[in-house]
Amino acid sequence: MRPLTSPPAADHNVKERADTGRVSLARRTLLYEWRRYLAALLAVAFSGLLVLVQIALLLGMFRTTTTVVENAAADLWLVEPTVASFDLARELSPRAENRARAHPAVQRTERLALAFADWRGPQGARVAITLVALDVSPGSLAFPRSLPDKLREALQPAGTVLVDQADLNKLGVQYVRDGAEIDGRRVQVAGVTTGFRAIGGAMVFVSEATYREIRGGASRDTPHYVLAGLAPGQDVAAVRQELSEIGGSLFRVMTPDELASMSQLYWLLESGTGIGFLFSTVLGLLVGVAITSQTLRAAVLSSLREYATLRALGVPLPALRAVVLEQATWIGAAGFAVTALATVLVVGIAISAGVAVAVTWWAVLGTALFSMLVSIVSGLMSLGPLLRTEPAELLR
């Protein structure tokens, strides 16, 4: 007896061929003539990269103004009502802290002050700095959560400061315990922070006591911000609402996210960089569309007789339009994939070089939409010759 084994090969082939489904002219052409479409794909990818890296750099830069806010443990911030950005602080009314403390849900309040000051380094380097004066007692809300508690303790002795790793050269600091002067008062570097690079100048952390010592008579002992920590289980939104009503015109109550967003948006719009960004994004859009639409248009033109033949055979015009737009969509998707890979690379290099960059999900999503916009607009712009196709012209 012969065993009945494997099915006939022919049957298998037929089944496989039937399963391949519809012929997609768009995809088959893209794959077959990939060299032709490569220019379009790279144009989309680079215009996307231009946009995403710019957003990352801008966000990175503006985030440096709010790192203190984002790293603090406070649930709510009391802010002088006319303040537009965290770094442009204004003095709060001395009554603000008492009012906040009177609220039963508030467990702890702290004051925080910012001041511009003059730094004179160990070798005489002079730098304009921003002093950040904060509560350094145990359980501090203001002291950055990103830093070890040891550094908080190092700030407790009067006359000590923390400087950032990124500013050491600028400040002329080589060793911990180097001496320096701020506004003519002697201070000692007690430790080095990381992640608090400032756009201009440098950020220097001090305790409230040291701050008063440095400012001397200039200090009116009024804070710029009051930080509030709520008792566990409190509804932050409800307390925020109640404190706002109590505050009236004395102060605004903001969550850390609100304060950070407001500050970043302020810089984006007020500094002119936002307009610059918009300008170069539009430029990227134009360059991307110019190259991509020309590539697609050339591809349409080279297949015009074939498209016209399909028209003659009764294939409706919208179906042919869909072929070009499908091609554009694939180019957009593939272009964005290249953008994403290149961004990982560029951001990686930037981070290892200590450049402040920040990539957010909405920036990535926005860039993906931008890439699709570039390719779809290009697809629409390349439809012209196709729409003018007259199958009767094949008969000349």
Partner 1 sequence: MIKRAATPSAPGSLLASGVTRSFTSGSITTRVLGGVDLAVQPGEMTLIVGPSGSGKSTLLAVMSGLLRPDGGTVHALGCDLWKQPPDAIDRFRLEHCGFVFQGFNLFPALTAAEQVVLPLQYTGLSSGAARARAEEALAAVGLRDKAALYPLALSGGEKQRVAVARAIAKKPQLLFADEPTSALDKENGANVARLLHAIAHAQGATVLCVSHDPRLITHADRVVRIEDGVLTSDERNTAVTNPDPLVVPELN
Q: Is 316 in the site for partner 1 (CB under 8 A)?
A: yes
The single-letter code of the amino acid at 230 is L
Span of 96-104, 188-196, 342-350, 387-395 interacting with partner 1 by CB under 8 A: 387-395
Rounded to a whole number of angstroms, the minimum distance from the CB of residue 390 to partner 1 is: 8
Question: CB within 8 A of 208, min separation 6: which ones?
Answer: 111, 113, 133, 134, 135, 136
What number of chain residues touch partner 1 (CB under 8 A)? 32
Select from 8, 104, 232, 314 the one that contacts partner 1 (CB under 8 A).
314
Considering only 73-81, 235-243, 283-291, 316-324, which stretch makes contact with partner 1 by CB under 8 A? Answer: 316-324
Q: Between residues 39 and 355, which has the closer beta carbon with respect to partner 1?
A: 39
> Could you say which of 12, 13, 32, 348 contacts partner 1 (CB under 8 A)?
32
Q: Does 392 bind partner 1 (CB under 8 A)?
A: yes
If the CB atoms of residues 118 and 306 are measured against partner 1, the closer one turns out to be: 306
Nearer to partner 1 (CB atom), residue 121 or residue 379: 379
How far is the C-alpha of 290 from the C-alpha of 335, rounded, in Å?
15
Stretch that binds partner 1, among 25-33, 66-74, 174-182, 361-369 (CB under 8 A): 25-33
DSSP class of 146:
T
User: Taking Cα atoms as reference points, which of 223, 202, 237, 20 lies closest to residue 133?
Assistant: 223
Nearer to partner 1, 1 or 23 (CB): 23
- Pick the closest to residue 185 from 118, 273, 264, 262 (CA basis): 118
Q: What is the DSSP letter of 248?
A: T
Which member of 54, 210, 303, 375 binds partner 1 (CB under 8 A)? 303
Q: Which two tokens stand for residue 77?
A: 């911030």
Q: How far apart are CA 363 and CA 233, in angstroms?
A: 33
38 binds partner 1 (CB under 8 A): no
Minimum separation from the CB atom of position 31 to partner 1 (A): 7
Residue among 25, 51, 78, 204 that touches partner 1 (CB under 8 A): 25
395 binds partner 1 (CB under 8 A): yes
The C-alpha angle with vertex 197 and arms to 83 and 47, in degrees rounded to 5, equals 90
> At its nearest, how many Å lie between partner 1 and the CB of residue 305?
5
Q: Which of 13, 31, 286, 348 binds partner 1 (CB under 8 A)?
A: 31
Cβ-based burial of 335 (10 A; exposed 0-12, middle 13-18, buried ≥19): buried
313 is an interface residue for partner 1 by CB under 8 A: yes
The span of 18-26, 80-88, 156-164, 361-369 binding partner 1 (CB under 8 A) equals 18-26
How many DSSP H helices and E strands does the chain contain?
15, 9
How far is it, in rounded angstroms, from Cα 277 to Cα 322? 33
Asked if 23 interacts with partner 1 (CB under 8 A), we say yes
Closer residue to partner 1, CB minimum distance, 10 or 237: 10
d(CA 173, CA 281): 40
Q: Is 389 in the site for partner 1 (CB under 8 A)?
A: no
216 conformational bin, left if phi > 0, alpha if psi -120 to 50, beta if neither:
left
Q: Output 274 or 391, the one with its CB closest to partner 1.
A: 391
What residues between 176 and 215 interact with partner 1 by CB under 8 A?
none
Distance CA 289, CA 326 (A): 16
Residue with tokens 């399909």: 310
φ and ψ at residue 19, rounded to 5 degrees: -80, -10
Assigned token pair, 298 = 């050339």
| Interaction between residue 388 and partner 1 (CB under 8 A) | no
Smallest distance from partner 1 to CB 379, Å: 18
Q: Is 309 in the site for partner 1 (CB under 8 A)?
A: yes
* CB of 333 vs partner 1, minimal distance in Å: 19
The tokens for 90 are: 């204004």
In angstroms, the CA 38 to CA 173 distance is 51
C-alpha torsion angle, residues 49, 52, 56, 58 (rounded to 10): 100
Chain contacts with partner 1 (rule: CB under 8 A): 17-18, 20-23, 25, 28-29, 31-33, 303, 305-306, 308-317, 319, 390-392, 394-396
